[in-house]
Amino acid sequence: MSKLPIPYPVIVEGRYDRESLSRVIDAQIVRTDGFGIFNRGEKLALIRRLAAAGPVIVLTDSDGAGKVIRNFIHSALPAEKIIDLYTPAVAGKEKRKKAASKAGLLGVEGFDADTLRAMFAPYADPDAALRAAENPLSKTDFYLDGLSGGENSQARRDALAAALALPPGMSATALLAAVRCVCSYEEYKQLVSGLCPEPRQEAF
């Protein structure tokens, strides 16, 4: 079964949540790393930048920790930029855990693919894949433009991130996903043409 194309970035708590969703939806999935979002300014800066371009879906666990994280995101973003998505209140625990959460409810990672698909189905956009195809920005562009694989790649990525109000220190993969969400291919080429330092690729 094909993945659901979701045109909005999806905010989840952790790695296993992301892995579960990535098998069901085709979307940019951003982790808060649990409570890590509280002390990692670059993570919140990325979420704010994504929200500036359009709505984001927030999907956290239904336990106390998930509510705290969701409330924190609500305090940081305008209400109209948030699409709240909630898991069903189902008792149980994730297979990898020895004990259930304090609330005794399944977290995002604990739900089967059919349940997750049903949750996201109302937000699926059949034109999302078409729009992505219209933006041909790829890893090859990043390499040719000196944003990966070169001596100055990190500095150039940081310069591009700064131009787009994104946090510094992003990996090539993370920055590529973010750039595809916040600007067109033409806007990207215009920005990258003015970046310093100049690219210096390794010789073959």
Based on the fold, state whether residues 122 and 184 are members of the same structural domain.
Answer: no
Task: Confirm if 183 and 189 have CB atoms less than 8 A apart.
Answer: no
- The pTM for the full model equals 0.72
Based on the fold, state whether residues 57 and 147 are members of the same structural domain.
Answer: no
> Is residue 203 pLDDT above 60, yes or no?
no
**What are the pLDDT digits (tens) for 32-71?**
999 999 988 888 999 999 999 889 999 998 888 899 999 9
> Is residue 132 pLDDT above 90, yes or no?
no
* Packing angle, helices 41-53 and 64-76, rounded to 10: 60
Based on the fold, state whether residues 120 and 22 are members of the same structural domain.
Answer: yes
Based on the fold, state whether residues 164 and 123 are members of the same structural domain.
Answer: no
Looking at residue 84, which CATH number applies to its domain? 3.40.1360.10
Based on the fold, state whether residues 103 and 177 are members of the same structural domain.
Answer: no
> Is residue 23 pLDDT above 70, yes or no?
yes
pLDDT at 102: 64
Distance between CA atoms of residues 145 and 192, nearest Å: 7
pLDDT at 90: 78
Q: Average pLDDT of 184-195?
A: 91
Q: Considering the domain boundaries, does residue 35 fall inside one?
A: yes
The total of structural domains in the chain comes to 2
